[in-house]
Structure 1
Amino acid sequence: MSNVKDITAKEIMDRIVKKEELFILDVRNESDFQDWKIEGETFSHLNVPYFELIDGVDSIVDHLPKDKDIVVLCAKGGSSAFVGEMIVEAGFDRVYSLVDGMKAWSEHLHQVRIYEDEKIKVDQFIRIGKGCLSYMVTSNDQALIVDPSRFTDVYVEAARKEGATITHIVDSHLHADHISGGHELAENLGAKYFLMKSEGAIFEFEALENHDRIEFNNIKLEVLAVKTPGHTPGSVSFFVNDKLLFSGDTIFVSGLGRPDLGNKVREWADDLYHTIYDKVSAIADDVIVLPGHYADYVEEVNDKGYIGDLLGNIRERNEKMFSMTKDTFLDHVEQSASSVKPPNFEDIIAINRGVEQADAERKQELEIGPNRCAVHHTH
């Protein structure tokens, strides 16, 4: 019988939210650890590759705490359980192994209620291992999903708990860092799926070019599709009841979306400039901006537990970006475009467009690693 306790991605996320201490022994290769790790405000780390520990853990015993829970993690869970057993044998009794490793961390969704009034309830789903954000807007017995991940059962269950059925699904753009669950969710539920036609998807959907507003449930819940190109040519933001702006990858809490993934950086940066200065400038400061991604959970989560902020605060924080001349803006964006692009982004885009098919294992493989759509920061 194993003396190593299992810990799930959800339990680690709960500890991040509660700011509980945790010591993580990451036994992946150093390059994988440097590229992508589990981070919490009160977490500490030690990275020693598995192959250095196969013959024993004597070399690291002095670096492990006796007074903290130790979580050993690897890519998929097998190596961490093995190393964890040796640590227990070395005299430690608070040892855990992350079930299914970083694979599970990449796939976990953390749900948090972010807004509620007499007409709507809004939940954010934080995909902590990817920096991706999706949303559910519920109104009586109907629900709208914004930028869903491929884990469609999570949204169906969340809607069921609210006594609602998912009837409308929107993607703000053709995602490059993760595989959308929008089309699959719509097919399974018979729901309406909306996407910009200019994004080039080849399956059946409702073209957002034909819908300035999406209304449902006879309660004047209006979802205004604000065309905000820049990150991709067909990027869209959704303005709900003049209170919430689902900004996709156009505006982040700490910056703007990167417009270089189509190899037309100057042209798309020009679109992004006009979006920020012509369209976003007309939106009031007290609107809550809810982005499609974030870069650092610890830095960007607010005191209510979700990723988002008032537009006025974002303008103030990124004052330079919101007040540049056009030429300076274009130069600034072009310089930032040299940063590392999302891995496998061309394959992911092809799947999201419907041009290529992939099974669950292939999708998992393509998505492993951090989000890189939110790297164009404007501090």
Structure 2
Amino acid sequence: MSKVPLITAEQLYDKLNSGNDVQILDVRNTEEFDSWKIEGNNVKSINVPYFNFLEEDDNNLKNLPTNEEMVVVCAKGGSAQFVAETLAEKGYKTSVLDGGMLAWSQFYHPTVVALDEKMKLIQINRLSKGCLSYAIISEGKGMIVDANQKIEFYTELASQYHFTIEHVVDSHLHADHISGGLALAQQTGAAYYISSGEVKGTDLTYTPLEKHESIRFGQVEVEVLALPTPGHTPGSTSFLLNNRFLMSGDTIFVSGLGRPDLGGKAKEWAQDLYDTVFNKVNNLSDEVLVLPAHYADIKEINDNGIVGAALGEIRKNNEIMRNADREAFTEQVAGAASTEKPPNFEEIIAINRGELHVGHERAVELEIGPNRCAFHHHD
């Protein structure tokens, strides 16, 4: 068989942002494809399961493009290699995503949100899961918010931008991905912050967020105000940076709110979410830029490559944030309990609480799949 070129997750990302259409041939089974796939505004995906190609039935080829390159994708890369080489022998143009969806799940991309004489704010997008984390940098010192599992990305970022990680913060106890927060703090000697309500009864070493009205670092005193915003989880905390940026965790999304049912107390936590939306966040200016910890749709990435929106725009576009009737709000939000939950969320929560320890390979496997932390989108 002829060899076909391998492309890395980073090279695929560059293709997705080239402005040209990208043709994906996904050879995983249909259930896996329907649940979680590579997405983009210019992505065209075809799903033909690997086993179909073993039958050498030309009907499997009838929907494949003959005049454009297909990036062949599978779970870990092996099946895609076989299919791509088979198709190449038939005259199709193919390449293979090296490492498959497993590699795609580990790809993180940084984008600068703001840069001025006081600070630099970077949003780190883990595209495969819609997970977002942040680096705030000032005077050679930095804070990482909602670090994902691949902590070497953040240490390399610190090296690239010449800052020392002094503070690591988790906005809440994550259910859809393994937090890298504590491990990153331990490796760098930084302080690790989380609300004590999130890790009650654990042996984790942490600094309680509720004991800090602000966390200041850098000679210019970049100020991060901890703003308790329960709802998605009881100790969910948002961070207001210089009164301009709200890192909202999983409390407020660009097109939704955090689901309150993952702790089994949907109605109780929905009441907390109501108070957050209509009492605490209500006092913030419409001009504040909301930067969440997740997004649910690729369309939430704006033309600058950033997931974020002015709070005023979110209020205008999100019907649930205008539903000031407490009872109606609670009923609508608590209905999220009937929707599909994040894959492996109970095991992931146990890991994030320090109650379960798994090897690296198992940890990576646990995270494969979409995030399902939002319950409501635009009207």
The worse-fitting range, judged by mean Cα deviation, of 312-321 and 54-63 is 54-63
Residue 24 (structure 1) aligns with? 24
Show CA shifts across 1:125-162 (max 9, x none): 11111110001011121111000001111111111111
Give the match's secondary structure for 1:354: coil
2:278·2:324 contact (CA, 8 Å) conserved in 1?
A: no
In 1, Cα distance between equivalents of 2:46 and 2:263: 38
1:120·1:137 contact (CA, 8 Å) conserved in 2?
A: yes
2:181·2:192 contact (CA, 8 Å) conserved in 1?
A: yes
Matched, 1:54 2:50: no
Residue 287 (structure 2) aligns with? 286
In 2, Cα distance between equivalents of 1:72 and 1:220: 49
Residue 57 of structure 1 deviates from its aligned partner by: 6.1
Residue 108 (structure 1) aligns with? 107
Give the match's secondary structure for 2:338: coil
Show CA shifts across 1:42-67 (max 9, x none): 22121111111124363333322122
Residue 273 (structure 2) aligns with? 272
User: Pairwise mapping of residues 224-373 of structure 1 onto structure 2 (< 5 A)?
Assistant: 224-297=225-298, 299-373=299-373
Structure 1: 4+ residue segments shifted above 3 A: none
Does the C-alpha gap of structure 1 residues 193 and 249 become closer, same or farther in structure 2, counting only changes over 3 Å?
same
2:171·2:237 contact (CA, 8 Å) conserved in 1?
A: yes
Normalised by the length of structure 2, the TM-score is 0.97
In 2, Cα distance between equivalents of 1:318 and 1:259: 17
Residue 133 (structure 1) aligns with? 132
2:349 maps to amino acid: I
In 1, Cα distance between equivalents of 2:378 and 2:71: 35
Residue 154 (structure 2) aligns with? 155
Aligned residues: 377
Show CA shifts across 1:103-123 (max 9, x none): 111111011111111101011
Residue ranges of structure 2 left out of the alignment (5+ in a row): none
In 1, Cα distance between equivalents of 2:127 and 2:57: 30
In 2, Cα distance between equivalents of 1:290 and 1:113: 12
Residue 320 of structure 1 deviates from its aligned partner by: 4.4
In 1, Cα distance between equivalents of 2:83 and 2:57: 8
The worse-fitting range, judged by mean Cα deviation, of 132-141 and 5-14 is 5-14
Residue 121 (structure 2) aligns with? 122
- Root-mean-square deviation over aligned CA pairs: 1.3
Residue 21 of structure 1 deviates from its aligned partner by: 1.1
Give the match's secondary structure for 1:197: coil
Residue ranges of structure 1 left out of the alignment (5+ in a row): none
Show CA shifts across 1:254-278 (max 9, x none): 0100000011001000000000001
Residue 168 (structure 1) aligns with? 167
Normalised by the length of structure 1, the TM-score is 0.97
In 1, Cα distance between equivalents of 2:134 and 2:164: 14
Give the match's secondary structure for 1:222: strand
2:194 maps to amino acid: L
Give the match's secondary structure for 1:332: helix
In 1, Cα distance between equivalents of 2:219 and 2:3: 57
